[in-house]
Amino acid sequence: MKNLKIHWDYSECPQFKPPFIPKIIIVYRYDVNITKEKGDQLLDTKEYSYGAGDIDNFNVNLIYPGLGVYTVWFSFEYKIFGSDEWFLYKTEKDRIEKCMKWN
């Protein structure tokens, strides 16, 4: 595995809601400043090697520039043991609403 990336998209809040504060567990930790536009950021260029059943935990702290709806997903390149060809993997997209309710 190599070239771990985060991607995001932004839209304005459809309605205001109370903010949600996630708990963060640190193993491999990355801080990312999200923007109010589409973007991506290369998180790590290190190559990781895994055997059958091996797994690591990657935690990303997202820093938001303000209220809005953010859609976030990750991608990385990988190759199968014995192959020289790299493949691209993308996670499912996660919609995060950072909208605060006024009243």
Q: Cα separation of 96 and 51, whole Å? A: 33
**Does residue 18 fall inside a structural domain?**
yes
**Count of structural domains within the chain:** 1
Domain presence at residue 103? no
Q: How remote is the C-alpha of 62 from its chain's centroid?
A: 8
Q: What is the pTM of this model?
A: 0.66
Tens-level pLDDT at each residue, the chain (103 residues): 778 888 888 888 777 666 655 544 336 889 999 999 999 999 999 888 877 777 778 889 999 998 999 999 999 999 988 889 999 999 999 998 888 755 4
The CA radius of gyration of the chain, in Å to the nearest whole number, is: 16
Q: Which residue has the tokens 């459809």?
A: 14
Is 9 a domain residue? Answer: yes
* Distance, CA of 65 to CA of 47 (rounded, Å): 31
